[in-house]
C-alpha cells in the first residue's frame, strides 16, 4: 500500500474536522437553522390535512355566505391556515439566512484550507516536490480538492436536511401501512448502487488524468503568462500551442464524456425503475379513500407524504453520492499535508546512524564518492565525485553546459541529497543537519534567482529578515551590488514596487534584477560560513562583473566560497579551479597549474581568450 494511502472514512473524518476548524460558528448556525427548517414540510402536510378535512365538513353544510367570518368562527381552521402562512414565510427567510451564512463559510473554508496547502508546499523541505510527477499530481489534485471541500459543508447540510425530513416522513407513512417506506426504499437501492459506481468511475478518470491536466496548465501558462508573451508573438507560436492545449483538452474531455454518457444512461434507467416504486402505495391509498377508510384530508396528507418521502430519499441518495464524490476529491489534500520528504525514493539513509558519526578533525567540505541522479532518470548526473574544500578556500567550478556544476552546487545547498556517497561539512554529514540550520549558515545566489513582486526593500531585505527595516544595511548591500545610482532615480526609493505586474510597479533590466539578487545575498553574508554563487554575474556588463567579483573575493576571504562560472578570466581569481565534464571532475588546480597541464581547462581558456582578440 502506498504511504500516501488514505481510506475514504479517514478522508471524511479529516475533512469534517477541517471544516469545523475553519468555520465552527457558521457550521453550528447552519446546522441549527437546517434542523428547524426541516420540520416545515411535514408540518405543512399535517396542517393541510386538517384544513382539507375542516373545509370538507363545512362544505357538506352548503356554501358559506361569508367565508372570512366562517374561518374566524373555527379556531382550528384559523390556526392551521395561520400556521401554513407562517411556515411559508419563515421557510423563505431561513433559506436567505442560510445562503448568506454559506457564503461566509465558503470563504472561511477556502482561506483556511488553501492556507494549509500553501504552507505545506512552501515549507516542503525538498524541491524534488516540483520535479516528481507523482507528487505534482497530488499537488494538482489537492488544489482541486480545496474547492470540493468548500462544497462538502453544503452537501453535508443537504444530507442532514434530507435525514431530518425523512424521519418524520417515514414515521407518518409507516402509520398508513408498514410496507410503504420499505417498498420506496427497496426501489431506490439499485439507483443508489449505480450512482455510487458512476461517481467512482468519474473520480478514477479525473485521477488518472491529473498529469494531462498539469500539462494543460503548463500550456495555459505559456499562452497567458507574461514571461512567454514576447516570444509567443515574435515566433507566431500562438496557434501551435493553442492546438496542443486543445488536443489535450479533447483527450481529457472525450474520456470523461464516455464515462458520463454510459453512467447517465444506467443511472437514468434505475432512477425510472425506482420511480415506479411510488405507484403502488399511491394506488393503494386512492383505493382506501374510495372504500371510505380514509378521508379526503388523508388523501392529501398521504399522497403528499409519499411524494415527500420519495423526494427526500432521492435527495439523500444524490447528496450521499455527492458526499462520496467530494470526499474522494478531498483525499489528495490530506495526502499532500501528510507528505514527508523521506518519501522521495532516492533518499535512503539512516538518520540516527548519520547523526552519531561526526568526525571533528575533518574541517571544510569533504565530498566523498558522491553520485546523483534526478528522480525518474537513472542517468548519473554526478558520477562518483571526490573533492576536499579547505576552510577559507575559494573554488571555481567550470565546465561545459550540462557538465553537472549547478547540480553539484544544489547538492551542497541540500536542495537534493546524493543518491550515493556523502558530503561532510566540518566532519558532519549534511543529511544529519537540520535544514534550517544549514540554510542559516549559507548564502546562495542561484542561476535562476527569484524576482519577488514586492518593494525594493523587501527584494533585498528578504536576504536577512532581521534587517528588513534596517535602511543602512539594505543601502549598503545595494551599494555593494552596484545598484546605488539606479536606486537614486526611483521616486519611492526603497519602497518602490518592483515588477510590471504590480499597479505602480517599476520593471528592471535583467542585469539590475541580478544585482538585486546579489544584494539580497550580501544581506546575510555576516552570518554565513559557506557562499555558493551559481553564474552570479551572467547578466552583468563587464565593468560591473569585475567589481562584483572583487567583492566576492573580499567577502570570501574567511569563508568557503564556491563560484560556478563560464567566465574563465574571473574564475582564475579563485584559489583552485575544478573542471567538470559529464558529471565527473576531470581537472583540479590553480589557474597556472591547469594552464601548464595543457588539458581541458587550458583549451577552454585559450578558446575564450582568442574570442576577445
Ligand atoms: N531538475 C532536473 N531534473 C532532471 N534533470 C536535470 C535537472 N536539472 C538539471 N538536469 C540535468 O542535469 C544535467 C546537468 O545539469 P546542470 O544544470 O547541473 O549542468 P551545468 O553544468 O550547471 O550546466 P550549465 O553550464 O548549462 O548551467 C543536465 O543534463 C540536465 O539536463
Query: Domain residues of the chain, as ranges?
Result: 8-343, 390-414+434-611
How far is ligand 1, taken at its centre, from the CA of residue 561, in Å? 21
Whole-number pLDDT of residue 343: 40
Candidate of 376, 402, 582 to mutate for ligand 1, largest count of ligand atoms within 8 Å of Cβ: 402
How far is ligand 1, taken at its centre, from the CA of residue 398, in Å? 14
Q: What is the pLDDT of residues 246-272, one digit of tens each?
A: 999 999 888 888 888 888 888 788 877
Atom of ligand 1 nearest to the CA of 376: 4
Which candidate, 44, 3, 39, 43, places its Cα nearest to that of 134?
Answer: 3
**Mean pLDDT value across the chain:** 84
How far is ligand 1, taken at its centre, from the CA of residue 591, in Å? 25
pLDDT confidence band for 39 (50 / 70 / 90): confident
ipTM at complex level: 0.97
Which contacts qualify for 488-495: CB closer than 8 Å, 24 or more apart? Answer: 490/456, 492/455, 493/456, 494/455, 494/456, 494/457, 494/460, 495/455, 495/456, 495/457
Instruction: Report residue 209 as a C-alpha cell.
Output: 488524468
CA pair distance 68, 506, nearest whole angstrom: 76
pLDDT confidence band for 355 (50 / 70 / 90): low
Instruction: Report residue 583 as a C-alpha cell.
Output: 558529471
CATH topology of domain 390-414+434-611: Rossmann fold (3.40.50)
Residue 381 near ligand 1, beta carbon < 6 Å: yes
The residue-averaged pLDDT of 550-560 equals 81
CA pair distance 166, 61, nearest whole angstrom: 38
Atom of ligand 1 nearest to the CA of 583: 14
How far is ligand 1, taken at its centre, from the CA of residue 382, in Å? 10
CA pair distance 436, 222, nearest whole angstrom: 34
424 bridge partner residues: 366, 429
Whole-number pLDDT of residue 4: 59
Taking CA atoms only, the protein residue closest to ligand 1 atom 29 is 402
Query: 425 vs 351, which has greater pLDDT?
Result: 425
Atom of ligand 1 nearest to the CA of 410: 18
The set of residues, in sequence order, having a beta carbon less than 8 Å from that of 251 and lying 6+ positions away, is 212
CA pair distance 374, 390, nearest whole angstrom: 28
Q: Is the pLDDT of residue 470 over 90?
A: yes
Q: Is the pLDDT of residue 88 over 50?
A: yes
Q: Is the pLDDT of residue 95 over 90?
A: no
Residue 277 near ligand 1, beta carbon < 6 Å: no
Atom of ligand 1 nearest to the CA of 403: 21
Atom of ligand 1 nearest to the CA of 566: 25
Instruction: Report residue 552 as a C-alpha cell.
Output: 566576492
Query: 274 vs 198, which has greater pLDDT?
Result: 198
Atom of ligand 1 nearest to the CA of 447: 27
Torsion of CA 533, 534, 538, 539, to 10 degrees: -70
How far is ligand 1, taken at its centre, from the CA of residue 566, in Å? 15
φ, ψ dihedrals at 7, nearest 5° = -75, 160
Which candidate, 156, 151, 204, 199, places its Cα nearest to that of 330?
Answer: 151
Q: What is the pLDDT of residues 357-411, one digit of tens each?
A: 666 667 889 999 999 998 777 889 999 999 999 998 999 999 999 999 999 999 9
CB 358 within 8 A of CB 428: yes
Whole-number pLDDT of residue 1: 40
The residue-averaged pLDDT of 521-532 equals 89
How far is ligand 1, taken at its centre, from the CA of residue 420, in Å? 18
Taking CA atoms only, the protein residue closest to ligand 1 atom 16 is 404
Q: Is the pLDDT of residue 348 over 60?
A: no
Taking CA atoms only, the protein residue closest to ligand 1 atom 7 is 374
Whole-number pLDDT of residue 24: 93
CA pair distance 212, 192, nearest whole angstrom: 31
Taking CA atoms only, the protein residue closest to ligand 1 atom 27 is 401
pLDDT above 70 covers what percent of the chain? 95
Residue 407 near ligand 1, beta carbon < 6 Å: yes
How far is ligand 1, taken at its centre, from the CA of residue 580, in Å? 12
How far is ligand 1, taken at its centre, from the CA of residue 208, in Å? 29
Whole-number pLDDT of residue 346: 46
The residue-averaged pLDDT of 4-30 equals 88
Taking CA atoms only, the protein residue closest to ligand 1 atom 13 is 402
Residue 383 near ligand 1, beta carbon < 6 Å: no
Whole-number pLDDT of residue 196: 81
Whole-number pLDDT of residue 382: 94
CATH topology of domain 8-343: ABC transporter transmembrane region fold (1.20.1560)
pLDDT confidence band for 243 (50 / 70 / 90): very high
Q: Is the pLDDT of residue 475 over 90?
A: yes
Residue 581 near ligand 1, beta carbon < 6 Å: no
CA pair distance 182, 170, nearest whole angstrom: 9
Whole-number pLDDT of residue 467: 92
Whole-number pLDDT of residue 72: 83
The residue-averaged pLDDT of 34-49 equals 82
Candidate of 404, 413, 581 to mutate for ligand 1, largest count of ligand atoms within 8 Å of Cβ: 404
How far is ligand 1, taken at its centre, from the CA of residue 404, in Å? 6
Residue 583 near ligand 1, beta carbon < 6 Å: no
The residue-averaged pLDDT of 501-517 equals 84
Q: Minimum mean pLDDT among 262-266, 310-314, 447-451: which range?
A: 310-314
How far is ligand 1, taken at its centre, from the CA of residue 186, in Å? 63
Whole-number pLDDT of residue 230: 82
Q: What is the pLDDT of residues 173-196, one digit of tens each?
A: 777 778 877 887 788 788 778 888
Residue 403 near ligand 1, beta carbon < 6 Å: yes
In the three-class reduction of DSSP (H, G, I as helix; E, B as strand; rest coil), residue 532 is classed as strand
DSSP state of 415: S
Span between the terminal Cα atoms of the chain, in Å: 64
**Most confidently modeled range among 209-218, 382-391, 499-508:** 382-391
CB 544 within 8 A of CB 567: no
Amino acid at each position: 500500500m502506498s504511504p500516501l494511502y488514505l481510506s475514504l472514512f479517514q478522508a471524511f473524518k479529516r475533512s469534517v474536522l477541517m471544516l469545523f476548524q475553519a468555520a465552527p460558528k457558521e457550521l453550528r448556525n447552519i446546522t441549527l437553522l437546517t434542523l428547524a427548517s426541516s420540520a416545515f414540510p411535514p408540518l405543512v402536510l399535517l396542517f393541510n390535512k386538517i384544513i382539507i378535512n375542516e373545509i370538507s365538513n363545512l362544505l357538506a353544510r352548503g356554501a358559506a355566505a361569508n367565508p372570512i367570518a366562517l374561518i374566524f368562527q373555527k379556531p382550528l381552521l384559523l390556526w392551521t391556515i395561520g400556521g401554513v402562512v407562517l411556515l411559508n414565510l419563515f421557510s423563505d427567510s431561513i433559506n436567505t439566512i442560510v445562503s448568506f451564512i454559506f457564503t461566509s463559510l465558503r470563504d472561511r473554508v477556502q482561506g483556511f484550507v488553501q492556507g494549509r496547502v500553501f504552507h505545506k508546499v512552501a515549507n516542503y523541505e525538498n524541491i524534488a516536490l516540483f520535479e516528481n510527477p507523482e507528487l505534482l499530481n497530488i499537488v494538482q489534485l489537492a488544489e482541486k480538492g480545496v474547492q470540493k471541500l468548500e462544497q462538502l459543508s453544503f452537501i453535508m447540510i443537504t444530507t442532514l436536511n434530507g435525514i431530518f425530513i425523512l424521519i418524520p416522513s417515514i414515521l407518518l407513512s409507516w402509520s398508513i401501512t408498514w410496507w410503504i417506506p420499505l417498498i420506496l426504499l427497496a426501489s431506490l437501492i439499485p439507483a443508489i448502487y449505480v450512482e455510487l459506481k458512476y461517481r467512482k468511475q468519474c473520480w478514477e478518470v479525473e485521477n488518472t488524468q491529473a498529469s494531462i491536466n498539469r500539462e494543460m496548465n503548463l500550456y495555459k501558462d505559456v499562452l497567458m503568462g507574461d514571461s512567454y508573451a514576447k516570444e509567443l508573438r515574435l515566433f507566431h507560436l500562438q496557434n501551435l500551442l493553442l492546438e496542443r492545449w486543445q488536443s489535450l483538452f479533447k483527450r481529457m474531455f472525450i474520456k470523461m464524456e464516455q464515462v458520463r454518457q454510459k453512467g447517465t444512461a444506467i443511472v437514468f434507467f434505475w432512477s425510472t425503475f425506482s420511480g415506479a416504486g411510488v405507484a403502488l402505495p399511491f394506488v393503494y391509498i386512492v383505493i382506501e379513500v374510495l372504500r371510505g377508510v380514509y378521508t379526503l384530508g388523508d388523501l392529501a396528507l398521504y399522497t403528499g407524504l409519499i411524494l415527500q418521502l420519495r423526494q427526500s430519499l432521492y435527495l439523500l441518495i444524490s447528496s450521499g453520492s455527492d458526499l462520496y464524490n467530494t470526499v474522494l476529491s478531498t483525499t489528495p489534500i490530506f495526502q499532500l499535508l501528510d507528505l514527508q520528504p523521506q518519501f522521495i525514493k532516492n533518499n535512503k539513509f539512516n538518520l540516527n546512524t548519520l547523526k552519531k558519526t561526526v568526525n571533528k578533525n575533518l574541517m571544510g567540505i569533504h565530498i566523498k564518492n558522491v553520485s546523483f541522479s534526478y528522480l525518474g532518470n537513472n542517468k548519473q548526473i554526478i558520477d562518483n565525485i571526490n573533492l576536499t574544500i579547505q576552510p577559507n578556500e575559494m573554488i571555481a567550478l567550470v565546465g561545459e553546459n550540462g557538465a553537472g556544476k549547478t547540480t553539484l552546487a544544489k547538492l551542497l545547498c541540500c536542495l537534493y541529497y546524493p543518491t550515493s556517497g556523502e558530503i561532510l561539512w566540518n566532519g558532519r554529514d549534511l543529511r544529519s543537519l537540520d535544514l534550517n540550520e544549514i540554510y542559516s549558515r549559507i548564502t546562495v545566489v542561484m542561476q535562476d534567482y527569484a524576482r519577488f513582486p514586492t518593494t525594493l526593500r523587501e527584494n533585498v531585505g528578504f536576504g536577512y529578515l532581521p534587517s528588513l527595516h534596517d535602511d543602512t544595511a539594505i543601502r549598503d548591500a545595494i551599494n555593494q551590488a552596484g545598484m546605488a545610482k539606479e536606486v537614486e532615480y526611483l521616486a519611492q526609493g526603497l519602497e518602490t514596487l518592483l515588477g510590471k505586474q504590480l499597479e505602480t510597479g517599476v520593471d528592471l533590466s535583467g542585469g539590475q534584477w541580478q544585482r538585486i539578487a546579489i544584494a539580497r545575498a550580501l544581506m546575510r553574508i555576516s552570518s554565513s560560513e559557506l557562499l555558493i554563487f551559481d553564474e552570479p554575474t551572467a547578466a552583468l556588463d563587464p565593468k560591473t562583473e569585475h567589481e562584483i567579483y572583487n567583492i566576492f573575493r573580499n567577502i570570501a576571504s574567511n569563508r568557503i566560497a564556491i563560484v560556478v562560472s563560464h567566465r574563465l578570466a574571473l574564475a582564475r581569481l579563485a584559489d583552485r579551479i575544478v573542471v567538470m565534464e559529464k558529471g565527473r571532475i576531470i581537472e583540479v588546480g590553480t589557474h597556472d597549474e591547469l594552464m601548464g597541464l595543457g588539458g581541458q581547462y587550458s583549451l577552454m581558456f585559450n578558446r575564450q581568450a582568442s574570442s576577445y582578440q
